[in-house]
Structures are given as C-alpha cells and as structure tokens.
Structure 1
Amino acid sequence: MTEHPDLDGVVRLRRDLIASGMTDQQLRRLVRAGVVCRIRHGTYVDGKAWAALSAPDRHRVRCRAVLARAHEETVATHVSSVVERGIPVWGLDLRVVHTTREQPERAGRVSPDWVPHRGRLTDDDVELVNGMLVTVPARAAFEVTTIAPVEPALVVVNRMLHVGAMTLHELADQVAQHQRWPGSLTSDLVLRLADPRLESVGEDRFSYLAYAAGLPRPEPQWQVNDERGRLVARLDFAWPDFGVFLEFDGRTKYREHRRDGESLEEFLMREKEREELVCLLTGWTCIRISWADLARPGLLAARIRAVLASRTKRIGA
C-alpha cells in the first residue's frame, strides 16, 4: 500500500468561503488564476496542492468533496474505498466517486463525477479510514467486481489479497452473500482467478492475459535453487513442463528490487546475470515482457504459444 498525503481540511466549501468574507466574484478570479481549483459544484481546493497530487489522491479529494455535501449516512464504497486504502488500481475511472447509502427509495442522481449506489450496510460492512467512513476491504473488493470488467477487478482483488487486507475466504463470503446483485457473475470468475502470490499489477494483468488467451496456466513465484540447494531466483511465472519462464519488466520491480546506491545500469546487469544463471541451472528459455507487450495481448499470446510449442518439440525430440 502506498503512503497518502494528509487531506484533512483540504476541501473548502463555497458557503464557508463566503462566510469568511470572500465573494463569488473573488472566487471566480482565483479559479481563473489557478490559485484555487473548483473540484465540483460548491467545493474548492488550493490550486498548487491539487496540481501536486497523483491521480489516486485526486480521487480521494473528489471523494471528500462529494461527502462534504452528501447525506451524513453516505459511505465511500467500491473503487473509492479501495483507493482510500492506498491499494494500486488499474483500468478504473478515478474521475468518478462511488458511494453507498441505505434508503428506501433510491440513492440519488448519477452525475459525471459521482455514482451514488443504494444498498444495505451493516456495522460490520463499514470502518473509519483516514477519518472517512468506507466499506471494509472484502466488501469494497466485491463491490468493484460488480461494476468493472474482469481484468481491472482482478487487479484490485489480487492487490488486496497480496498485502493481507483481506482473505480469499472473506471475499468468497461476500460473493456468496450477494449472489443476486447485478454484476455478480463477474465476481464468481474473479474469485476463481484470484491469486495472492502475484506481486504487482503487471503480474495480475499477465495472469489474466494467459487465462483469456487460453494459454497453459503458468506457476507464479517459481523458485530456482543452485547445486547446493540455495535459492538463487524467484521467477515471476514458469511453465515447468515446457521449460519456459517469464519475467515482467516494470517500474515496480526496478523500484523495489534495486539495492541501496545501485544505479539502474548496475541493476539491469545484475538481472541479466541472474537470468543467465537460471538458464544455466535449468536449461529453460526466458521470455521477458513489459507494459507495452500487455497492450497487444493477441500478439503477445501468439508469441508465447509459439515458444511453448517449440519447447515441446525439443523435449519430445
């Protein structure tokens, strides 16, 4: 999970600014000058602070802007609950806030930046995070599976599982309790594909690509030992029966696995030596992919399928 800036008090309401002596005309001038940023109707933040925020933190600000003017029983849910926890997401529209409120008629009118859901929330479904009421991890993950395609929903579920925010059993309970919810068919599939062993968004996406393309399911985090039994590598994915392994090259790996004081060039050289050692110890073939490859899933799957086929012929020969 990523560290969040403190957003306490960052959202200012128009009524409070007017009460402090500012006029609407002054507000408009400040917005035009970029000194103040209008987040949504009647809510503002400091312009420099807004410009410095990441996309997830801008979502958190939008969420606070929505809740500042919403009914007091409104809770941040779905992707808004996930983002508030610092869980990485991919493929979800962070310009739109999701909330839930239990009421007899309807949740409210959908707007371009806010989707108010109607649903039953018990005390066990809600908790306080960073001073804001949000749904608990398993409920939030399930909620995302009902509004998102399989791939981005799987990313959310795997990231939450990997950091221990929830368990597969807790997610399965949520799916079982809400079988009649719209979108719950996606929930069942995501639950079957979920794997807490995956360590990054890139790995989550490749795992889904392998499933969607009908590739043999690879084993994640495959361990390779040397002649003395010492662990020398943990591979992102492996097909042991084919003698092939796959490594995902992404910014997360560069950031998390570089040693203190190690340059990028030194890290890449160490990775190359590690790959050569794995190939020497196992006799396997390495496939390296990047984010750009994931953008062309059909081509990537065809290339992997060709490599697996060629290894099958060699093993058979």
Structure 2
Amino acid sequence: MTSPRIDLDGVVRLRRDLLASGMTDNQIDRLVRAKALKRIRYGAYVDYAAWDELTPEDRHRLLTRAVLARAHSETAVTHVSSLVERGIPLWGFSLDVVHTTRTGPERAGRQQRDWVPHRGVLEPDDLEELNGVTVSVAARSAFEVTTIAGVEAALVAVNRLLHAKAMTLEDFKEQAEVHRDWPGSLTTNLVLHLADGRLESVGEDRFSYLAHAQGLVKPEPQVEIFDEGGLMVARVDFAWPDLGVFLEFDGRIKYERYRRPGETLEEFLVREKEREELVCQLTGWTCIRIGWAALARPEQLAARIRRVMASRNKLAS
C-alpha cells in the first residue's frame, strides 16, 4: 500500500521571492541562524517549524520541489524520487538526492550534491501529473531504479509497486524489453525474475532476496492455513510445506496492520503467539521467526534455516 502524500504546494520559498518581499540577504541569514527558516538547498527555504514536522520522505519531496523550481521546464521527476512521490516504501536508497530526467536536445545538466539530472527519452505515455509535479509512470520508474541500484534495493521497489497495484508485471516487462540495451539491464532481468507482488512488506522482500542470494530452497509466500473444517485460520509469510517449516517476519508494519482497535502491544503479541501455536498444531510444521537484525547477517540466518530444515528431514526419515 502507498502512504498518503501531504500537500506541499507553495511551501518552498525561493531567495528571489524573499528579496522581492522586502527582505535582505542578511535578514534571511539571521532567520536561518535563528531556526525560523530552513535552507533546504542553495536559494531555497522553508519555514523551520514545517520542516521539523515532515517525515524523511516528505522532506525529499520538498527538496524535489526546490530542485524543480530552478530546473528547466522540461524536467520530470524520475527514478527514486518518482517512487517517493507515490508513497512507495523503499529500502537502500538515499533520500538526500533528487533524481530527475530532462527531455529535449539540451544537455541534462551537471550532477550536484543533492541532485542527479539524468538524460533520457521520455515519451508522453511515460509521464503523468502527480501531486502537482510531472513524474515518470510507475512501470518506467521501476525500470529506472533497476539501472541505478543493486538487485536487493531495486527488488524492494518493484515489489512494492506491484503490491500497491501501481503497475502490473507485464507493464514492467514491457519497459524492460523497450530499454533492453540500456546499461544495467542485467540487474533489470534478475529483478524481473525475482519480482513477486504477493509479498506484503519491505522485510518480506528482503528475505525473499536473501533466500535467493544464499541458495536456499525457494519458499512459498503467503501460505494459507486451514483448520479441520476447511476454515482458513491463518496465513504465514513464507513456508516450505514439503520440509515442514514456515517463517514469519516480525516488523513494525505487521504490528500496525494486524493490531485490533484498542489492542495493546502485549495483547497483540499474545494473540500472535497463539496463532503460531495453532499453525504448528494444524500442520506439524516448525516456525522460524526473524526480524530486521537477522537480515543484516544473511549467511548466519541462512545457516540457521538450513539446520532447521536438516532436523526436519531427520525426523521424517
């Protein structure tokens, strides 16, 4: 799912506008030192109180608008920045740098500390208006990020777009085919092979990639569990049914999504434990629970999973 985007229209205040209102450069500098204004890039400011309340994603969106205010009129928001504008959850990308693409015969411009101006061909069908700015459409954005990122970060972005139904896998395949001669196409092809819109969170995306990179047997995502009467009572994040093992990823999103109204965290955790026990009783499987820390040690986690699988094989033999 995507996050709601707050309206940032008119929030950025350019130096030329402040001067036109009667301020001097010295006054602007004093306001910045007093934390009444926040300088977000050269010649662009925002009220400090407003900046202080923004999320990292909305700060990136504000920086994007500061870039566009001084960029050529044919500049579109693309790559990572277009996904942030959509509210797509990301991992592994810096939000301190804005990505744009400029069409037309002129050069794209010089890369700056906070701005990467790309040069490319953007057809009318590649663009749309979103939140008052021109962005690359979802499938084009998905392809774009595969050309500038590693497989894991790009896979997270593509899966989040698929899960949000912002694009289809066929849309992404079409973009990959049209741009098959672009640098980075090897990453694109691997992401296309691994992409799966059934995954529900960044944590699940990253574990899916970890399983591939570590050579684990490919797990089945979102496996439904039924009781003796055929009623679905649970759905587990990943499972290896033939091996009698399932895996649950514990992250903040799961707590937020599945906690009932008025339910405390402790009550939720007790209910989650009861759900796990029910799955084990109905299936005879063993549960592995992981969190963000485990993903930072992929070899160790993969070895742990292999040991569990090996013990299950011994029990079955």
Residue 80 (structure 2) aligns with: 79
Letter in 2 for 1:304: I
Question: Using the alignment, how far apart are the partners of 2:11 and 2:183 within structure 1?
Answer: 35
Question: Using the alignment, how far apart are the partners of 2:273 and 2:25 within structure 1?
Answer: 61
Question: Using the alignment, how far apart are the partners of 1:283 and 1:36 within structure 2?
Answer: 61
Residue 307 (structure 2) aligns with: 306
SS in 1 for 2:242: coil
Q: Deviations over 1:11-56 (max 9, x none)?
A: 0110011000011000000111111011111111111111111111
Letter in 1 for 2:109: G
| TM-score normalized with structure 2 length | 0.99
SS in 1 for 2:46: strand
Letter in 2 for 1:180: D
Tell me the CA shift for residue 119 of structure 1: 0.4
Question: Using the alignment, how far apart are the partners of 1:77 and 1:163 within structure 2?
Answer: 18
Give the CA RMSD over aligned residues: 0.7
Residue 250 (structure 2) aligns with: 249
Letter in 2 for 1:37: K
Tell me the CA shift for residue 295 of structure 1: 1.1
Tell me the CA shift for residue 309 of structure 1: 1.3
State how 1:1-317 maps to structure 2 within 5 Å: 1-315=2-316, 317=317
Q: Deviations over 1:96-143 (max 9, x none)?
A: 000001233531100110000000111100000000000000000110
4+ residue runs over 3 A deviation: none
Q: Deviations over 1:174-209 (max 9, x none)?
A: 000001111121000001000010000000000000
Letter in 1 for 2:178: Q
Letter in 2 for 1:266: E
Letter in 2 for 1:233: A
- 8 Å Cα contact 2:74/2:104 also seen in 1: no
Tell me the CA shift for residue 273 of structure 1: 0.5
SS in 2 for 1:179: coil
Q: Please list every run of 5 or more consecutive structure 2 residues that lacks an aligned counterpart in the other structure.
A: none
| TM-score normalized with structure 1 length | 0.99
Tell me the CA shift for residue 314 of structure 1: 1.4
- 8 Å Cα contact 2:67/2:115 also seen in 1: yes
SS in 1 for 2:61: helix
Moved more, 101-110 or 11-20: 101-110
Q: Please list every run of 5 or more consecutive structure 1 residues that lacks an aligned counterpart in the other structure.
A: none
Question: Using the alignment, how far apart are the partners of 1:77 and 1:305 within structure 2?
Answer: 41
